[in-house]
Amino acid sequence: MANWVIWKLIKRISIYFLAISLLLVMVFKWIPVPITPLMISRCIEQKAEGESLKLNKDWESLDNISNSLQLAVVCTEDQNFLIHNGFDFTAIKKALAENKWKKRKRGASTISQQTAKNLFLWQGRSWLRKGLEVYFTFLIEIFWSKERIMEVYLNIIEMGDGVYGAEAASQTYFHKSADELSNKQAAAIAAILPNPRKFSATNPSHYTQKRQRFAMRQMRFWGGVLKYEKAQSMSVND
């Protein structure tokens, strides 16, 4: 009897979870994201440490975000973004191999995974969170377009201390709109993404400068923004 009650409770919770998660994915397919778990946790940290509240964000459509920034984050974070289905298994295998001997651990999360994690989940490392990240990545890849994934990513990703999204970062670092960023400025923002509260786009460390130069080289290898736009268009048509 007790086992039957437990099984019934688990079944009910599972149904509720599936329904709510699907609803959230469909809602955020269309509407701007007002706030994320990371933003909330950062605000709580600030209050706990007696700091003033810092929450600088400004939603912009993808049309109002420089293609240079889109290309820069693809080059630094996920070069197979337009062709994978949420997971880059080649990058995962490479990261696992390199992390056995490298001191600086290499990540293999795609832009889709980072979007799912930042939008729906908490920070930290655990098998539960990673499993849910896989689940939500799977959902957004099914129900969203690549453009929507990129749009949400570039609007919610942490890009500084209390700075979230492309528009807030552009205004904070370069005092201009996100659609006015140059290739160099876009590469500078993309270069700080591994640790945006530690690194600076305007006062870069040697490591950040190295990442910026890498981003700019990769942007040229890609053929620049025009080729990225063409690849993006082909991805949509497929």
pLDDT in tens, 125-156: 888 899 999 999 999 999 999 999 999 999 99
Which pLDDT score is estimated for 103? 60
Q: CB-based contacts of 8: which residues, under 8 Å, 6+ apart?
A: none
Structural domains of the chain, ranges and CATH numbers in brackets: 59-232 (1.10.3810.10)
Provide the β-strand partners of residue 19: none
Helices 111-120 and 67-77 sit at what angle, rounded to 10 degrees? 100
Q: How many C-beta atoms surround the C-beta of residue 236 within 10 A?
A: 10
pLDDT in tens, 70-110: 999 999 999 999 889 988 887 777 766 666 556 665 567 89
- Residue 10, φ and ψ in degrees, nearest 5: -60, -40
